[in-house]
Amino acid sequence: MSAAFDTVIIGAGNAGVSLAARLRRDGRQNIALFDPNPVHRYRPMLNYAASGAARMSRYERPMERVIPDGVRLFPHAASRIHTDSHTVTLGPRDEGPTITYDDLVVCPGLTPRWDAIPGLDKAYIDGWALSAHVPEYAGRACAALVREREGTVVFSVPPEPASCGGTVLKAMFLACDRWRREEVLDRIEVHLVTPFRGLLGLEPIDSRLQASIREFGITVHEQSQVGAVDHRARTVTLDGPDPTTIGNVDLAYVTPLSRAPRFIADSGLSDGGDAGLVEVDPRTLRHPRVESVWGLGDAATVGTRPSGGALRTQVAVVADNLRAAREGTGAAHYDGYTVIPIAVGHDRLALAEIDRDGRPAQSVRGIDLTRPRRLTYAFDRYLQPVVYFRTLLRGRV
Ligand SMILES: Cc1cc2nc3c(=O)[nH]c(=O)nc-3n(C[C@H](O)[C@H](O)[C@H](O)COP(=O)(O)OP(=O)(O)OC[C@H]3O[C@@H](n4cnc5c(N)ncnc54)[C@H](O)[C@@H]3O)c2cc1C
């Protein structure tokens, strides 16, 4: 089978669905979306779910339900892009339909690099290691964190690229707050491993969060990464300026390193880095060598820490630039805005809003959102999911 579309989008996650809806609003016809996943998740809720503060099933939808009217969904994975013939082959072994495009947008998100941390895949299968960043294990993460009553727990912030990796702190603080309210926190030794200086390598948010680190008695291993784990020996080995092995670990909340799906590099569209991200000009989000290809979201070289919050601007920039490219008008630019929301307990949340260089980029004037507040918690936990499904996924960006 073969078919031809004006615009083809690979990946029906936050980026792909929002963009398809926005293009429909702009009047574009003949759009196709490819995604083999039968479920669309509101991913920011995974951290709340992992620490028992939300039920994930309420934030999942069958994929067909989030696809905008007039957009054709192919429930297949893209396996190869042929930029010379403007075609994409679908299916795990290229045995699916071949689709022709005029414009192609690549946004298939990130996928775990299980081979990067020796022992981690086996530790996940065993149930001793887990993280909300691997959605298939988020339910188990919840059960394990909620059940924990004593011992040692290690949390790790993944190195970039990671899907809003800093929000591991959210899961950690929510878990600590829960343990404190259940009066077991003083029996649990909590370690945080971070590849950054301080916590996230960002000021002023790091200084703000230090108060919670002290309050919960967390030991921080900064500028360090998990080098290996052993679920049988219950050890987590750290690489960094102070290499060490943490022993007697009861739970390893260790997020695997991430990479973009391999078909991007196999199709000659990656930036050549280990993570195989789709190469784009970080301002226009257009591929620098192949003019008909665009990229956004976690899988693209957008030059900033990936997040759903970053996508509002990215989606608008790609939509505007797809039109500008056809009309020969000036290109819109993405400024690198991104956001990392961190709950410090069950009722307060701090927001790190930064630009491409990690400098503060406040969206609201006059209020310091890096200070943990009840209002920002309520927004992130209760209002934002409604905005996501009713507004962002409907192309109102
Ligand atoms: C645990 C967690 C917590 C987070 N918390 C926050 C938060 O609090 N705030 C915030 O702003 N952001 C947060 N994020 C980040 C946010 O969810 C992502 O930045 C956003 O989802 C990225 O959108 P995307 O479309 O690029 O990728 P995704 O949403 O991951 O979607 C990619 C889609 O592509 C599909 N796909 C993969 N391979 C193929 C292929 N070969 N062919 C076709 N389709 C394919 C996948 O099935 C998936 O549906 C969090 C992420 C995680 C994991």
- Distance of CA 373 from the midpoint of ligand 1 (Å): 26
Q: Are residues 118 and 247 in the same domain?
A: yes
pLDDT in tens, the chain (397 residues): 678 999 999 999 999 999 999 999 999 999 999 999 999 999 999 999 998 899 999 999 999 999 999 999 999 999 999 999 999 999 877 778 899 999 999 999 999 999 999 999 999 999 999 999 998 877 777 788 888 999 999 999 999 999 999 999 999 999 999 999 999 999 999 999 999 999 999 999 999 999 999 999 999 999 999 999 999 999 999 999 889 999 999 999 999 999 999 999 999 999 999 999 999 999 999 999 999 999 999 999 999 999 999 999 999 999 999 999 999 999 999 999 999 999 999 999 999 999 999 999 998 888 999 999 999 999 999 999 999 999 999 999 7
* Cut 0.95: pTM above it: yes
- Distance of CA 349 from the midpoint of ligand 1 (Å): 22
* Ligand 1 atom at shortest distance from the alpha carbon of 338: 11
Q: Are residues 153 and 220 in the same domain?
A: yes
Secondary structure (3-state) at 372: coil
Of 241, 258, 275, the residue that ends a domain is 258
Name the closest-CA residue to atom 23, ligand 1: 14
CATH code assigned at 7:
3.50.50.60
Q: Are residues 226 and 159 in the same domain?
A: yes
Q: Are residues 214 and 307 in the same domain?
A: no
- Distance of CA 109 from the midpoint of ligand 1 (Å): 5
Token pair listed for 149: 């009553």
Q: Are residues 249 and 117 in the same domain?
A: yes
Query: Structural domain of residue 291, as residue ranges?
Result: 2-110+260-336
Ligand 1 close to Cβ of residue 34 (< 6 A): yes
Of 216, 236, 258, the residue that ends a domain is 258
Q: Are residues 49 and 62 in the same domain?
A: yes
Q: Are residues 149 and 198 in the same domain?
A: yes
Ligand 1 close to Cβ of residue 163 (< 6 A): yes
Let me know: does 103 contact 324? Beta carbons within 8 Å: no
Nearest partner of 266 among 143, 134, 89, 110, judged by Cα: 89
Report if residue 384 sits inside a domain. Answer: no
Q: Are residues 194 and 285 in the same domain?
A: no
Q: Are residues 89 and 165 in the same domain?
A: no
Q: Are residues 198 and 79 in the same domain?
A: no
Q: Are residues 32 and 57 in the same domain?
A: yes
Name the closest-CA residue to atom 38, ligand 1: 108
Into how many domains does the chain fold? 2
Report if residue 47 sits inside a domain. Answer: yes
Secondary structure (3-state) at 258: strand
Let me know: does 117 contact 103? Beta carbons within 8 Å: no
Place of tokens 């009066």: 183
- Distance of CA 106 from the midpoint of ligand 1 (Å): 13
Ligand 1 close to Cβ of residue 384 (< 6 A): no
Of 336, 361, 390, the residue that ends a domain is 336
